[in-house]
Amino acid sequence: MKEAATFIKRVAGFAPADGDSVQPAWLAPIRRAGFARFSELGLPTLKQEDWRFTNVAPLTELPFQPAPESARNDLTADALAGLPFAQLPGDRLVFVDGHFAPELSRTGRHPDGVRIGSLAAALRNDVALVEPYLTRWTRTEANPFIALNEAFFRDGAFIHVPAGKTIEEPVQLLFLSTGRAAGVAAQPRNLIVAGRESQVTIVETHVGLADGATFTNAVTELAVGDGAVVELVKLQDESRKAFHFAVLHAHLGRGVNLVAHSFALGSRLARQNIRTVLDGEGIECVLNGLYLAGDDQLLDHHMIVDHARPHCASHEYFNGILDGRAKGVFHGRILVRQPAQKTDAKQTNKNLLLSDEATVDTKPQLEIYADDVKCTHGATVGQLNPESIFYLRSRGIPRDLARRMLIHAFGGEIIERVRCVPAREELDRLVRRRLAEHKQAKLETSAV
C-alpha cells in the first residue's frame, strides 16, 4: 500500500479530483475510484497470474515525475518530419509527453458531427458526446494501470464518428516522449467512438525522441456501433530505456469488423493489454501483432477476446522476433460465454529466437462455456530453418541476406494484414530497417 502511495506521488504529483478545476463534476468520483483502486491493488507482482512473466519492479526504482507542459515549446513540425508515418495523409493529433500540441497537429474538413481533437477540450465543449462512453467499457478491477490512468489522465485523443459517416484518410495519433529529463511520466487517455455503420482507420504511434527513462501509461477505449468497420494500427517505438504500459479495451456491436494491430519495437519494458468484447452477432475481430526485441528488452502482449454473442469470428495472429537477451511474453485468452454458440475463434503465436539467450513465455488459453463452437490455438517457438537458409544460399544469396529475408518474411506475415496501404508500406520499411540495425549491432559486437 505504501509502495502504491509513493508511486502515485511520483507519477502524478497531485491527488486526483483536484487536478483540473474545469473538469466536469461527474468525472470526480471516477477519478477517486481509480485512485482508491490503485491504492488497494498496488503495482502487480510476479505472483499474479496475469503478470507472472513480467516484472514491473524496475518501475519503482526510477525517479518519476509528471510531465511538464513546457516540454513541447521548442518542438517544431520539422522535428517530426523524420518520424514514422510522417508522410501519411489525413489528420494528425500530436501529444508531447501527454500534452496536446495543437501547433504540431492538423485536422481537415470532415462530415457533419465528426470530432477529431483533444479529450481535454472535448470534456469542456462536448461533454454530451463524451460522458456516455468515457470509462464505460474499461475495467479497472484486474489492472492497476487502468485504475492509475483513470485517476490521473489529463488528455489524449477524442474521436467521434457519427453513424453512417466514413473518414477516408487515416487519423494519426502521435505520442512523443521527449525523454530529455529522466523519469517523465505521461498517462494519455484516448476515447474513440465509431457510430453505427461508420468507418475509420486510426494509426496510433508512440515514439521516444531522446534516450530517457520515460513512463507511459496509456488507455484507449474504443466503442464500435453496429456494422461499423474500424482498423486500428498501434506502433510502439519508444526509447530503449522507456517503460510503456498500454491498454486497449474495445466494445463491439453487431456485425462489426475490427482489425487491431500492435507493432511493438521499442521500450525497455512494454506491456500491451487488449480486451475486446464481442457483444453482438456476426462480428469479425482480428487482433494482429508483431514484437521485435533485442538487447534486454521485454515486450509483453496480454489479450482477452470475450465472445459474448453467437456467430462471431475472432482471429489472433502474433509473431515475435527475439534477439540478444530479449524476452517476449504472449498471453492470449479466448473466452467463449455460454450464449456464444457457433463461435469461430483462432489464435496463433509464433516466435523466432535469433540468439541462445533470447526467451519467450507464451500462454494461449481457451475458456469455453458454449458447446457448439470451433476454437483453436497454437504456439510455436523456433529458430530459422537451416534448410531454407541453405536453399537460398545454394542460389547465390549470401548467408546474412538469406537470414534477413527469412526473418523479414516472418514479420511480413503480420505486416501484410494491415489494410491501410501507406501505413503497411511504412511498417514494412521500418521493420526492414530495424532488422538491418539489429544485424549491424551484432556485427559490431562480434568485431570487438
Partner 1 sequence: MSKPILEIKDLNAGVVGKPILNGISLTIRAGETHAIMGPNGSGKSTLAAVLAGRDGYDVTGGSVHYLGEDLLELAPEERARAGVFLGFQYPVEIPGVNSTYFLKAALNEIRRHRGLPELDAMEFLSLVKDKIKLLDLDADLLKRAVNVGFSGGEKKRNEIFQMAVLEPKLAILDETDSGLDIDALRVVATGVNKLRRPDNAQLVITHYQRLLNYIVPDFVHVLMDGRIVRSGGKELALELEARGYDWLTPAAAAA
Nearest approach, Cβ of residue 447 and partner 1 (Å): 19
DSSP strand E in 294-420: where?
Answer: 298-307, 313-322, 327-336, 344-353, 359-368, 374-382
| Smallest distance from partner 1 to CB 401, Å | 7
Q: How far is CA 413 from CA 133, 278, 429, in A?
A: 35, 25, 14
CB of 172 to partner 1, least distance (A): 28
Residue 161 · residue 171 · CB < 8 Å: no
Which of 182, 245, 244, 178 lies closest to 213 in space, CA to CA? 182
- The SS3 call for residue 147 is helix
Min dist CB 367 to partner 1, Å, is: 31
**Min separation Cβ 415 and partner 1, Å:** 10
Q: CB neighbours of 329 closer than 8 A, spacing ≥ 6?
A: 53, 54, 298, 299, 300, 301, 302, 360, 361, 362
Which residue, 214 or 351, is less far from partner 1 as judged by CB?
351
Q: Tell me, letter by letter, the H, E, C secondary structure of 380-404.
A: EEECCCHHHHHHHHCCCCCHHHHHH
Q: Which is nearer to partner 1, 102 or 398 (CB)?
A: 398
Q: Quick one: 103 or 416, whose CB is closer to partner 1?
A: 416
Contact between 220 and 188 (Cβ < 8 Å)? no
Concatenated DSSP letters of 54-103: ---GGGGGS--EEPPGGGGGG--GGGGTTSTTTT--S-EEEEETTEE-GG
Shortest distance (Å) from residue 380 CB to partner 1? 13
Whole-number Å distance between alpha carbons of 224 and 232: 12
Closer to partner 1 at the Cβ: 162 or 320? 320
- Give the residue with the Cβ less far from partner 1, 368 or 405: 405
Q: Between residues 284 and 413, which has the closer beta carbon with respect to partner 1?
A: 413
Question: Based on CB atoms, which residue is closest to partner 1, 199 or 388?
Answer: 388
Q: Which residue number, 43 or 405, has a Cβ lying nearer to partner 1? A: 405
CB of 400 to partner 1, least distance (A): 10
What's the closest the beta carbon of residue 351 comes to partner 1, in angstroms? 15
Q: Give dist(CA 420, CA 438) in Å, integer.
A: 27
C-alpha cell at 423: 501505413
Cα 309 to chain center, whole Å? 25
* Pairwise CA distance, residues 25 & 50, whole Å: 34
Binding site for partner 1 (CB under 8 A): 385-388, 390-399, 401-402, 405-406, 408-410, 412-413
Residues 187 and 189: their CA atoms lie apart, in Å, by 7
Shortest reach from residue 320's CB to partner 1, in Å: 15
Residue closer to partner 1 by CB (options 82, 386) is 386
Separation between Cα atoms, residue 211 and residue 242, nearest integer Å: 8
